[in-house]
Amino acid sequence: MTKTLRVLFLLLFCSSFVVMAEEKNIRITSGNDRAIPIAVVPFGWQGGTVLPENLAEIIGNDLRNSGTFEPIPAQNMISLPTQASEVIFRDWKALGAQFVMVGSIVPSGAGLQVQFALFNVATEQQVLAGNVSGSVEQLRDMAHYVSNQAFEKLTGIKGAFATRLLFVTAERFSQDNTRYALMRSDYDGARTVTLLQSREPILSPNFAPDGKRIAYVSFEQKRPRIFIQYIDTGRREQITNFEGLNGAPAWSPDGSKLAFVLSKDGNPEIYVMNLASRQLQRVTNHFGIDTEPFWGKDGQTIYFTSDRAGKPQIYKVNIASGAVERVTFVGNYNANPKLSADEKTLLTVHRQEGFSIFRIAALDLVRGGSPKILTQSSLDESATVAPNGTMVIYATSQQGRGVLMLASINGRVKIPLPVAAQGEIREPSWSPFLN
């Protein structure tokens, strides 16, 4: 790659390491009020061997990660009921729990059945009960199912604990020997699977709306090119092979099109490709650098980053008419736009006037005002938001190594994800809701 091409590529993708939030409901709260105390009691187990997963711990962690609930540690529990008849409400009132969940795991055919019940401690009423079956290998799936059921029942928000995460790892062996891998895991970093390995960089992984395909940029041909890969089969399709930059793929809301950046005509511009016909449409036409497309839910609007005013700011363009409108004005740098599903909140990589650090910020598109700064470190990158808008995962650095962090949007939770992967970890991308 020529030096000029490398510089352009870095300009296009530098902020892709800072925020990549998905387009779902993003709920920004002050984080000053307390999380709701909830007790998830260790589930009873009637089998003869030790189970490989602790369901109550997984469920408790899920609910905690949302920022809405604060699980009571098992060692603080006065009693350990496993079914409704064993619940003594005064025990939980004494601990300050507002809700208590009990459950049991029983052998069922060749697999297991998980039974659970959730109670309101103040009213002493059962608010949820259910069961789910699966194999021993599906214990985490069953735990996330229970978490989703409880979360939606108590908050009215669909749970996102059964979703998946994409991310890229870079394991460096020497100056000229780095192995890159495109990985998938549970949303909490568990059960990592390698989807692709390469000696050349992999960038900008992005789930399709159906959750079955991913798009990404690969340098395996020594130049950036866009690929689509089918998750279940591993089948790959090369989508672009144009001269210059090919980058920043973004799926349309219906999954039938990709928006991306090409410099084939001499300047980085936004293009849209119909994946069925491979018909290409140029969307922007300006001497500035236009990059990082993100679709509006109407399928006719694309938000993007451009330096056409001298500094990177967010704009939106109507695909049919080509009409462009500037969106951000506060701060001397706003890049990598991501919208909430209701399109009331815009997330950007933001730099305030007079500062030299970049942070993730949320802008209220309805009420306006100054952006709300969501992160406090200058090393936080590539945020991606859960499809229900309650959590964010981003890349950062700890002890000199790139890691992933999970934070609740309301500010109560910030924890490292225990991802079983070697090397630097970066560019996380959250899946949509999965069936």
CA distance 67 to 124: 24
* Res 343: pLDDT: 82
For the record, the structure tokens of 83 come out as 């079914």
Residue limits of CATH 3.40.50.10070 in the chain: 36-155
* Res 361: pLDDT: 84
pLDDT digits over 196-209, tens only?
999 999 999 999 99
Fold of 3-27+162-430: Neuraminidase (2.120.10)
CA distance 24 to 339: 7
Residue limits of CATH 2.120.10.30 in the chain: 3-27+162-430
Question: Considering only 154-163, 288-297, 353-362, 388-397, which range has the smallest mean pLDDT?
Answer: 353-362
Residue 342 banded pLDDT, cuts 50, 70, 90: confident
Strands ordered across the beta sheet of 424-430: 193-198, 177-186, 164-174, 424-430
Question: Considering only 90-99, 241-250, 351-360, which range has the smallest mean pLDDT?
Answer: 351-360
Average pLDDT over the chain reads 88
Strongest mean pLDDT among 40-49, 70-79, 417-426: 70-79
Residue 19 banded pLDDT, cuts 50, 70, 90: very low
For the record, the structure tokens of 378 come out as 């200058």
* Res 18: pLDDT: 34
* Res 109: pLDDT: 82
* Res 42: pLDDT: 97
* Res 341: pLDDT: 67
CATH of 36-155, picked from 3.40.50.10070, 3.20.20.70, 3.40.640.10, 3.50.50.60, is 3.40.50.10070
Q: What value, to the nearest 5°, has the Cα angle with vertex 214 and ends 293 and 156?
A: 80
CA distance 283 to 269: 7
Q: Is the pLDDT of residue 338 over 90?
A: no
* Res 226: pLDDT: 98
For the record, the structure tokens of 295 come out as 């679709």
Mean pLDDT value across residues 57-84? 96
DSSP 124: T
* Res 355: pLDDT: 75
CA distance 349 to 312: 10
- Write out the E strands in 140-296: 164-174, 177-186, 193-198, 202-207, 213-218, 225-230, 236-238, 246-251, 257-262, 269-274, 280-282, 290-295
Give the percent of the chain with pLDDT over 90: 68
Question: Considering only 27-36, 219-228, 349-358, which range has the smallest mean pLDDT?
Answer: 27-36
**Dihedral (CA of 241, 244, 249, 254) sign:** negative
Question: Considering only 40-54, 57-71, 130-144, which range has the smallest mean pLDDT?
Answer: 40-54
376 versus 233: which is more confidently predicted? Answer: 233
CA distance 335 to 348: 5
**Dihedral (CA of 275, 278, 281, 283) sign:** positive
Q: Is the pLDDT of residue 363 over 90?
A: no
Q: What is the pTM of this model?
A: 0.87
Contacts of 139 (CB under 8 A, 6+ apart): 51, 52, 53, 55, 112
- Among candidates 141, 158, 151, 133, which has minimal Cα distance to 25? 158
Q: Is the pLDDT of residue 3 over 80?
A: no
Q: Residue 29: how many CA atoms within 13 Å on its side-chain side?
A: 20
